[in-house]
A and B are shown apart, each in its own frame.
Chain A
Amino acid sequence: MIRLIANLGTATVLTLWLIVGVAGCNSSSQNSENGGDSDAPKIGVSLLTLKNPFFDVIGNNIASEAEKHGYQAIVQSAEEDIQIQGNHVKDFIVQGVSAIVLSPCESEAIGPIIKEANDAGIPVFTVDIPCRLPDVKIACQIASDNFQGGKEAAKAMIEALGEDGGKVGILHFVQAESCQLRVKGFREVIQQHNAAAAAKIEIVAELEGGGDRDRGNAAAQDLLQAHPDLAGIFCINDPSALGAYAALEKANLQDQVVLIGFDGMPEGKQAIKDGKIYADPVQFPDQMGVRIVDAIIKHSKGEELPAEILIPCELYRQEDAQNDPSLR
């Protein structure tokens, strides 16, 4: 009998603790939303991961912009796990949200999940990562103009190498459609440049940089082994550019090789300010968040929406970094 009471006691403690935990964070999140109306129409948002500041900014901007227009956004992180994302969508449908925003963990496996939302009559918007399956209905896809961003990267490379030209390498992340577009744009402008210029820029290698520091570092080391006279590296994102910078430093070649990154994440911008990276075509995740809510409103008004909204990238150089209040 004592044991029964002990077990029931622990179960109660566990539950009470949960009540405090859940109710505590629930009320704090409501406070931070300036007393958001719980009856306000909801927007369900499940993003690839909130660990990456890029998606975090998207999520925050969706939430703040939604509130301005009388919506309440529920922003969740799918932790790059398709099952978690699938459960998010199921829970959104039960909650009767007015719209669902996804940046899919998998561009194919997300198909049946989106179909589920389609069947429930809830419009689905995708951000950054598209789903191009034929039989799913996407109200609107919003992303950076990666092709144009790649072109900007090439312009920065040409600007940095100037009259001399030289050998450049690319650190790719070939799985991602966005990165393929970036490299395509990069190559196109370099090609155009070479047609006219006296000193050509030669793309000597395209290596897999994994899109992260470790693999970017390893790939850059290989690149420097093969081409000690390298003049520049284009990295498809900031983490791989920073990995490449570590490799340059190790080989003491940081003054010889020009680095161009991509994204303009805080650490990338700091590296540009410190002169480690020459320039980044930056994306505007804040604008993406705002444009998504704008698209949701248009959709709810019954206005026509384009299938895809592309947000242009802009070059961000050292002088921009020096004037950037977000950097210390």
Chain B
Amino acid sequence: MNLSTLFRYGTFVALVLLCILFSVLTYGRQFPDGASGATALARQITNQFEPDARILIAVPNNDTSIQFAESLTQNLTTAGFDVVANVKGEAADARKELLRLREAGEQLDVVAGNHTSANWLLFKDIRSDFPELGEVIVIEPASYNWPGFLTAANLRNITIQVSVLGILAVGMTFVIIAGGIDLSVGSLIALAAVVSTYLIREYLGAREAGVSQMFLAGAVGILACGIVGAFSGSMIIYCGVPPFIVTLSIMLTARGIAKIIANNDTIFELPDQFTWLGRGADLGGIPNTVVLMLLLYVVGHILMSKTLIGRYIYAVGDNKQAAWLSGVPVKSVLMFTYVCSGMLAGLGGVIMASDYQSGSSKYGETFELYVIAAVVIGGTSLSGGRGSIIGTLVGALIIQVIRNGMNLTGVDSNVQDVILGSVILIAVLLDKFKERRNV
């Protein structure tokens, strides 16, 4: 077993421990919803009330709640209860229904809802505000204890949130393993987002743009970033400017260009279908961005571990001179890493534009730092030559899990920065530690 696999194992353990930590911290009452919540509530109602009880079902207007309401109605009517009304909407809609019932001189025994609707203040005060309806009892499914972090909805949430970071980190891993750095990726996000949305608004029919036109615009945005990446690459390879300086200047230039194109405004004249990439979930309900990210990680992993170009990238990062002497096409390898990084940043920008259905030059500010952090936390050495794609995925997940977990536990945003910053520092320290052992 070599050191990098051990290290990868270490970060993976850290990720698991973080998940356990946040599960413990978010352990608390959960409220059943949907069909299962409805079954539980129907049982509670059958036990508690006579079958002639008159019931109002009220839920907010969303998919799970509506499922809950429909299933509950069905369960209760089969059990012989009288469901007098079914409200799907806001408290205001429920109030209207209550007023209508009062007008009609009807009586009510039970208001049934999920946790959200049962806690509407309207129902809390129902006995004092609507005494004519009788002694109404408000009921919701009994709660159970479970970590809020460890729910399907939240885990899905994290994978969606991590996707742009994860995609950019693939390209950054190539660059860093080859011994370089790319500070321009945050600005390239903005550039791609603005270029593709600008094209759609100005030349491809704005809100009426068709699917192929949107693909074209996205491709142009990604290609533009690829060209910028190639430019950075050639400055580094042929002019010998340090990568840090080249990409720092590109970082400013690219964002400046994005601002000029967007005219400091947000470009939002886009068709609704434009959100397909960022918000759609076509493959068995898995979000498109997550599918895309996983695909890129599979390709990236195979590339780095099974192909010649992967070997070359490691070789160049380990010792450029030695690689050149042994016949590795160093220039092409470096060029490949910067073009990849640029294009993946462009892809991230298009995803972000799609997610928000608009393009703005503000997207991705300071994003490069989190991308680099993900790569470093994932065990890739900043001095090049060592690291892995899978480690990067774990690194990106660690960052997102910390952010999500801290949001769920209500940690102050300033404290969040301190914690994230320290995690990055620790990761770099580990890297140094390992280097010293290696010598």
* A contacts, CB < 8 Å to B: 3-4, 7-8, 10-12, 14-15, 17-19, 21-23, 25-26, 29, 38-39, 41, 50, 74, 76-77, 79-83, 86-88, 90-91, 93-96, 98, 105-113, 119-123, 133, 175, 297, 299-304
Contacts and interface: CB of A to CB of B under 8 A. Distances in A.
Given A98-B116, A301-B121, A22 B411 contact: yes
Given A4-B9, A18-B419, A90 B161 contact: yes
A81 B413 contact: no
Interface stretch (B78-86, B304-312, B399-407): B399-407
A29 B25 CA distance: 14
3 interchain residue pairs of minimum CB distance: A121-B60, A302-B95, A7-B10
B92 A109 contact: no
23 contacts: A4-B1, A7-B430, A8-B10, A15-B14, A15-B21, A21-B415, A25-B411, A26-B409, A29-B412, A50-B414, A77-B413, A83-B363, A83-B364, A91-B408, A96-B115, A98-B119, A106-B362, A109-B356, A113-B356, A119-B63, A121-B62, A302-B96, A302-B120
Interface in B138-176: 148, 151, 153-154, 157, 160-161, 164
A23 B27 CA distance: 13
Contacts of A301: 91, 95, 120-122, 125
B14 A11 contact: yes
A169 B227 CA distance: 45
Contacts of B122: 300-302
Contacts of B363: 82-83
Nearest to A33: B410
Contact of B266 (A23, A86, A106, A120): A106
B154 A94 contact: yes
With a 10 A CB-CB cut-off, give which of B121, B404, B412 has the most chain A CB atoms.
B121
A96 B121 contact: no
B116 A299 contact: no
Contact of A302 (B94, B266, B268, B408): B94
A106 B91 contact: no
A62 B157 CA distance: 26
B115 A108 contact: no
B107 to A, nearest CB: 20
Contacts of A29: 410-412
Contact of A12 (B17, B264, B406, B413): B17
A131 B217 CA distance: 26
Contacts of B148: 94-95
Interface string B251-279: 00000000000001010100000010001
Nearest to A112: B357
A22 B413 CA distance: 12
Contacts of A21: 415, 419, 422
A111 B356 contact: yes
A14 B25 contact: no
A107 B266 contact: yes
A303 B95 contact: yes
Contacts of B62: 119-121
B22 to A, nearest CB: 8
With a 10 A CB-CB cut-off, give which of B31, B94, B407 has the most chain A CB atoms.
B407
- Range for the number of chain B residues in contact with chain A: 35 or more
B61 interface: yes
B356 A10 contact: no
A59 B357 CA distance: 28
Contacts of A86: 355-356
With a 10 A CB-CB cut-off, give which of A19, A76, A110, A112 has the most chain B CB atoms.
A112
B7 A26 contact: no
B427 to A, nearest CB: 8
A106 B360 contact: yes
A88 B91 contact: no
B100 interface: no
A8 B18 CA distance: 13
With a 10 A CB-CB cut-off, give which of A18, A79, A88 has the most chain B CB atoms.
A18
B356 to A, nearest CB: 4
B129 to A, nearest CB: 8
B39 interface: no
Contact of A14 (B1, B412, B426, B437): B426
A106 B356 CA distance: 10
Interface string B121-134: 11001000000000
Nearest to B430: A10
A111 B358 contact: yes
Nearest to B406: A22
A37 B264 CA distance: 44
B391 to A, nearest CB: 12
Contacts of A299: 90-92
Nearest to A122: B60
Contact of B25 (A22, A94, A105, A106): A22
B28 A38 contact: yes
B120 A7 contact: no
A61 to B, nearest CB: 17
B11 interface: yes
Nearest to B59: A121
With a 10 A CB-CB cut-off, give which of A38, A39, A106 has the most chain B CB atoms.
A106
A300 B268 contact: no
B404 A108 contact: no
Contact of A112 (B91, B116, B355, B365): B355
A93 to B, nearest CB: 8
Contacts of B91: 299-302
Interface string B293-308: 0000000000000000
Contact of B358 (A17, A41, A90, A108): A108
A86 B358 CA distance: 13
A34 B408 CA distance: 20
Contacts of B3: 3
A80 to B, nearest CB: 8
B17 A82 contact: no
B352 interface: yes
Given A106-B358, A302-B120, A39 B408 contact: no
B282 interface: no
Contacts of A119: 62-63
A313 to B, nearest CB: 27
A109 B242 CA distance: 36
A193 B70 CA distance: 64
A215 to B, nearest CB: 13
B60 A91 contact: no
Contacts of A82: 356, 360, 362-363
Contacts of A76: 407, 413
Given A81-B365, A302-B94, A7 B9 contact: yes
B10 A10 contact: yes
Interface in B2-36: 3, 6-7, 9-11, 13-14, 17-18, 21, 25, 28-29, 31
Contacts of B405: 22
A3 B264 CA distance: 52
A121 B407 contact: no
